[in-house]
Amino acid sequence: MENYTVSPVMTDDNDFVWCVIEEPTDQIIMIFEFEEDASDYCAFLNDGGAFDGFTPTFILNEVVAPIELDYNQKFEAIFQ
């Protein structure tokens, strides 16, 4: 049995994207515009790449970045 499969998914603008889905957890691991790219990545994962079928959920959660700061300006202020 394969831990990862490729499935087409329709977007809001009636286009298709190709999703690599982790079967045991039913998580979308990656989204591709081209089926061939999704199939290649799926084969990599099924050959033992990454988490072998059990990707922790927290890795796939989107992280909201804090308000963008001007780090150059902050760096200069520290060393003046």
Residue boundaries of the structural domains of the chain:
4-78
DSSP state of 61: S
Inform me whether the pLDDT recorded for 5 exceeds 90: yes
Inform me whether the pLDDT recorded for 8 exceeds 90: yes
33: tokens are 């515009």
Compute the half-sphere exposure of residue 40: CA atoms within 13 Å on the CB side of its CA.
Answer: 6
Tens digits of residue pLDDT in 56-79: 777 777 777 666 667 777 777 788
Tens digits of residue pLDDT in 27-51: 899 999 999 999 999 999 998 887 7
67: tokens are 């308000």
Nearest 5°: the CA angle 22, 18, 14 is: 130
What is the value of pTM for the model shown? 0.63
- Higher pLDDT, residue 10 or 54: 10
